[in-house]
Structure 1
Amino acid sequence: MSFKILGTGHCVPSRVVTNDEMSTIVETSDEWIAPRVGVRERRVCTTETASDLAFEAAQQALAMSGTKPEELDMILCATLSADEASPSMACMMQNRLGASCPALDVNAACSGFIYALDTAAGFFARKKVKKMLVIGGERLSRLIDWTDRNTCVIFADGAGAVVLGEGDDYLSSKLYAKGCETIVIPQYAGDSPFNQLEARKPFIRMNGQETFKFAVNAMAGDIIDVINAAGLKQSDIAWVVPHQANARIIDAASRKLDIPADRFGKNIEKYGNTSAASVPILLDELNRAGKFKKGDYLALASFGGGLTSAACIIRWGI
């Protein structure tokens, strides 16, 4: 017993920031950003919070699945940018939705959503739940150094969600972690009068070159491993739903696989890198566009700070 996906949803802020507008904030241009990253515009919160985005995405997924909040047995939220250290985003969702179930956050950076799916699979396997809500929600705009053109042009805000029910459509998975500081977001230093450590600004810092090399190899290798673990061939995969960090990473990973490039979903040009939200946002967009057929095999893959990576195979059941 694993699970099946019953419904999907996503939400992004209304404020669109184009590459041309970014060039008025930091020294950059569309000609510099688009070829290197693949982003042409992104969504950035103005009055919205991360929880606002997650709440709307959750409502959409619940509506599609025909599930009432009181039917949920657990809520998991994948995030590294929750509005509060406590209560968790998952607890805030439980309250706003009117659910009465356990709720917790998962932080594996951009790999968080697939980590959360794998966590959910364990609860289904132990028959502890019948329906779960899993959300990836981020407001990375508050963690960006808006003077650093190497990162501020990449990251953005958004949320995606799925409702899971009992089933056997989660066929295989792989989680990986390698503790290092290739991507770092320092915590707020606090104001302890006893602290003697250097205070670092709580903004994203990334070694782009090292991240690129890790990401390409991790994505391609993880997809191969989960396909083999599911007893499938690469030709069986109808769609790859990859983390949207960099279009060149997705293209490079696809060249290492025997899966046609047009089976790799992309929306990075519209949304940028929304961390744990990117995979469920893309999943919902492809679902609502009618790209998936019942019985299709999907490969989800992600990588991120930690360093972490994750992949899984899902048989589509909607």
Structure 2
Amino acid sequence: MTNPRYSTIRRVAVHVPADRQTGPEIEDEVRSRNPGVRLMPGLLRQMYGFEERRVAPPGTWPSDLAAAAGRSALEQAGLAPDAVDLLIFASASEDVEEPATAHVVAHKLGVTAPVFDVQNACNGVLNALEIADALIRAGRYARVLVTTGERGSRLSALPVRDRRELALLLPALTLGDLGAALLVEASDRPGILAAAFCANSSGWQAATVSNPYFPQAADAPAVRFDSAALAASFPGLEARAFDVLHAAGRKPGDLDLVCVHQPSVAFTRTILDSLGVPEDKAVAVFTAYGNVATAGLPLQLAQAAERGRLRPDDLVALFGLASGASGGLVLLEWSP
């Protein structure tokens, strides 16, 4: 295979579960499961601007959501599963610890190409795009299907013993379910222009989900989201990630669309302000879908295209922040 000069995102697709769950319904569920814990009515709206999320049917696996989105992307492109050269699964959720969930997704799609997982909390899809771009530019593959399937709503069922554990679980109550896929192909014109990633790994303890095979102390919660510590781990990451924009000779005002990780309404506004990007350049999804982790950026791309806000040759920035902490930005020209 000769080395292509560029890669581009040809298709983006999402699979949205039909069922909705509102903030008050989630709060009622937490109270019923944990009768000894008090939860103020309307707290999720007050704290996060949360309204509702999508919830997949019982028995749905992350691979089911990823495969549904991947199937939609291939159908949009008029391609059969055997046209895929590489499949990447890049979710914060997973079916199993071993093997890679990418195998399960590929089996459900009928893809026989090589596969692997990429995991970096909410930045997994961004990292997968960087990897896909590098491999296509190197001439290793011509068509890469990046998939993700998030089942974050399941964390709401975790038991809460006291107010402290409730505070640490509270951000997880806004997590929603969604599948997404991006079809990345070799191109003779620029598509993915640049990518940059940075990390502040000293902040890794701010948000953790324990490994069941390596249990922590008996009094340690399985899921721990320390909002204050997480926020403190982020400053400076957005500026370092956005250096790729300046290195490309562009400025925020040149961007036609900016997709950012959205764990709350206030957080989204703060990030846009720090990047110098007006809110009308973004696509708000948190209030209607909740925090869908790695699927959030593809969701915003898909919604922008659906609403006529994404046109060929538009300059787009995909910006992510994730626990760990890590920041990343992929700069692209939209050329489906």
Is the CA contact (8 Å cut-off) linking 1:155 and 1:274 kept in structure 2? yes
In structure 2, do the counterparts of structure 1 residues 204 and 281 end up closer, same or farther at CA, with 3 Å as the change threshold?
A: farther
Is the CA contact (8 Å cut-off) linking 1:136 and 1:280 kept in structure 2? no
Query: Which residue matches 2:320?
Result: 302
| Superimposed CA distance per residue, residues 94-132 of structure 1 (whole angstroms, 9 cap, x where no aligned partner) | 111111111011010001110110011111121011111
Q: 1:181 aligns with which of 205, 230, 239?
A: 205
Structure 2 distance, partners of 1:165, 1:240, is 22
| Pairwise CA distance, 1:236 | 0.8
| Superimposed CA distance per residue, residues 221-260 of structure 1 (whole angstroms, 9 cap, x where no aligned partner) | 1453121122212111001111121211111122223322
Report the 3-state secondary structure (helix = DSSP H, G, I; strand = E; otherwise coil) of the residue aligned with 1:24.
helix
Identity, % of aligned positions: 25
Query: Which residue matches 1:155?
Result: 175
The farther-off stretch of 62-71 and 115-124 is 62-71
Query: Which residue matches 2:18?
Result: 14
**Aligned pairs, number:** 311
| CA RMSD of superposed structures (Å) | 2.0
| Superimposed CA distance per residue, residues 26-49 of structure 1 (whole angstroms, 9 cap, x where no aligned partner) | 31433x222421220012233222
In structure 2, do the counterparts of structure 1 residues 80 and 201 end up closer, same or farther at CA, with 3 Å as the change threshold?
A: farther
Report the 3-state secondary structure (helix = DSSP H, G, I; strand = E; otherwise coil) of the residue aligned with 2:242.
helix
Where do 5+ consecutive residues of structure 2 fail to align?
Answer: 31-38, 161-165
In structure 2, do the counterparts of structure 1 residues 62 and 215 end up closer, same or farther at CA, with 3 Å as the change threshold?
A: farther
Is the CA contact (8 Å cut-off) linking 2:70 and 2:147 kept in structure 1? yes
Structure 2 distance, partners of 1:42, 1:125, is 38
AA in 1 matched with 2:206: T
Query: Which residue matches 1:288?
Result: 306
Structure 1 distance, partners of 2:254, 2:170, is 37
In structure 2, do the counterparts of structure 1 residues 217 and 146 end up closer, same or farther at CA, with 3 Å as the change threshold?
A: farther
Structure 1 distance, partners of 2:225, 2:265, is 17
1:119 matched to 2:131? The reply is: yes
Structure 1 distance, partners of 2:64, 2:86, is 19
| Pairwise CA distance, 1:278 | 1.2
| Pairwise CA distance, 1:146 | 5.6
1:80 matched to 2:92? The reply is: yes
| Pairwise CA distance, 1:217 | 4.3
Q: 2:223 aligns with which of 196, 204, 208?
A: 204
The farther-off stretch of 210-219 and 115-124 is 210-219
AA in 2 matched with 1:182: A
Structure 2 distance, partners of 1:270, 1:203, is 27
Report the 3-state secondary structure (helix = DSSP H, G, I; strand = E; otherwise coil) of the residue aligned with 1:256.
helix
| Superimposed CA distance per residue, residues 8-60 of structure 1 (whole angstroms, 9 cap, x where no aligned partner) | 11113222110121231231433x22242122001223322211111111111
Structure 1 distance, partners of 2:75, 2:261, is 25
Query: Which residue matches 2:184?
Result: 164
Structure 2 distance, partners of 1:202, 1:65, is 44
Q: 1:132 aligns with which of 132, 138, 144?
A: 144
In structure 2, do the counterparts of structure 1 residues 187 and 152 end up closer, same or farther at CA, with 3 Å as the change threshold?
A: same
In structure 2, do the counterparts of structure 1 residues 25 and 132 end up closer, same or farther at CA, with 3 Å as the change threshold?
A: same
TM-score (norm 2): 0.86
Query: Which residue matches 2:35?
Result: none
In structure 2, do the counterparts of structure 1 residues 215 and 36 end up closer, same or farther at CA, with 3 Å as the change threshold?
A: farther
The farther-off stretch of 224-233 and 113-122 is 224-233
1:4 matched to 2:8? The reply is: yes
| Pairwise CA distance, 1:203 | 3.4
| Superimposed CA distance per residue, residues 249-283 of structure 1 (whole angstroms, 9 cap, x where no aligned partner) | 11112222332221122100011111111111221
Structure 1 distance, partners of 2:246, 2:330, is 11
Query: Which residue matches 1:261?
Result: 279
The farther-off stretch of 117-126 and 84-93 is 84-93
Structure 1 distance, partners of 2:159, 2:196, is 34
In structure 2, do the counterparts of structure 1 residues 39 and 108 end up closer, same or farther at CA, with 3 Å as the change threshold?
A: same
| Pairwise CA distance, 1:150 | 1.6
Structure 1 distance, partners of 2:144, 2:198, is 24
Where do 5+ consecutive residues of structure 1 fail to align?
Answer: none
